[in-house]
Structure 1
């Protein structure tokens, strides 16, 4: 994360909110690592929404208590909490995925993450994606840049789609999505959506995309980290991502540097709004 004096230099509430999220993410990591993924009790969510473990719930409880105690006036949206329309009446809302990549956690991999964000009137203003096993903490506050641990990060400057390194699951390369033909890119994948977004923000990959409707808690933190790293983020139709919706999903995600994002939209046959 940015050093404490750097956080202090970022003026206004986003800096204070970022400091809160960083502390909470580190506490979440300590709690999650008390569980062993393979032996943690697990259940399958209804409607094929994937697994949940006792670690997910324990982390959610810790974050709910710590964050709501610190900001009682903020709304709350979490993958592991029952949703309430009360958040729609709040200017600021926490958007939380206690463990993004639960399957990776169960399998004992190191690519699961805590994804914590605060949105103000639909736009994310403070964000953390923390991978405790890897020791990687991505952070951003509105107007303060994006960071990986103590180092500022920047999106790739690549401007050509051909040969670009793209993080995306196989179904996104179905030809029905690409009226001009599937682009010739270097295909890569990582299981955590929050981690994928963060990897593009640090320039490790040139772009990421998913055309499936995406839950806000999976992408809110990554959205700000990307934008503060110089990327453009949008849904699959090129629209700006907005958060704290009544139904907390957006229409997929496309993220890349500005020129490459234009190239992806063109290849998708989308005229940007």
Structure 2
């Protein structure tokens, strides 16, 4: 990682926000990507085009992985790579909800070393580097210390309500809430506004790369649903779900979630 990579990501994220807001609430063209991949809009593509042009011009030796770009396997041989989601939470964006984010990360090998998650409507910018604190608008983040699953405030989807995913055959009595942007969910836990976030379906790297570093630098544990460490810039860029919480609560979730056979 270069010393000013975080600054580069920050400036790109702010410009991404400016572009997105030109389309937000102005009925941008959108369509479904098919195969359960969800919607995409002309705004996603405009943000992606800017990010790819600006970031790759600034770091031509870095690999590139984006939700809205054709995957280039050359990234696998690069020492550093960008992993970006131009608009995380496209459904929210298209519904006029401000809970969408721009998630930008730099990896070194298989770990994230710099990350930015920016929500332009809410004026929120979360950031972290591998050797620095997790910040929100320049101020350190302090996560929840809650250790008990019961009544924990958890960001997750309705999929987690299915008893088949839990060892005991029943869903723990936590309080479930959802935000469209997966990156924002991790940041909200890092901020202490929620106690944990889990996803029991596969998670794309571009949704979680930047935010996973922010969560870790805030002092949280991050893993896939089986407890394995998250790795990035993989040939198949998906994690087998996620679990993000403070150490005791993270372990409580791992003890409760039914593991997926490997």
**TM-score by shorter chain over 0.5:** yes
Alpha-carbon displacement from aligned partner over 1:95-127 (angstroms, at most 9, x marks no partner): 000000111111111000001011111100100
Q: Matches of residues 1-273 of structure 1 in structure 2 within 5 Å?
A: 13=1, 15-180=3-168, 181-269=170-258
After superposing on structure 2, the runs of 4+ consecutive aligned residues of structure 1 that deviate more than 4 Å are: none
Q: RMSD in angstroms over aligned alpha carbons?
A: 1.4
Deviation at 1:269, TM superposition (A): 5.0
Q: CA offset at residue 156 of structure 1?
A: 1.1
Q: Determine helix, strand or coil for the equivalent of 1:59.
A: helix
Alpha-carbon contact 1:29-1:114 (below 8 Å) kept? yes
Gap change, CA 1:269 and 1:171, over 3 Å in 2: closer
2: CA distance between counterparts of 1:43 and 1:31?
Answer: 19
Aligned mates of 2:93, 2:124 — CA distance in 1: 16
Aligned residues: 259
Unpaired runs of 5+ in structure 2?
A: none
Residue pair 1:38, 1:106 contacting (<8 A) in 2 also: no
Using the TM superposition, give the Cα deviation of residue 14 of structure 1 relative to its aligned residue in structure 2, in angstroms. Answer: 5.9
Taking the aligned partners of 1:136 and 1:186, their CA distance within structure 2 comes to 24
Unaligned runs of 5+ in 1: 1-12
Q: Distance in 2 between matches of 1:173 and 1:267?
A: 13
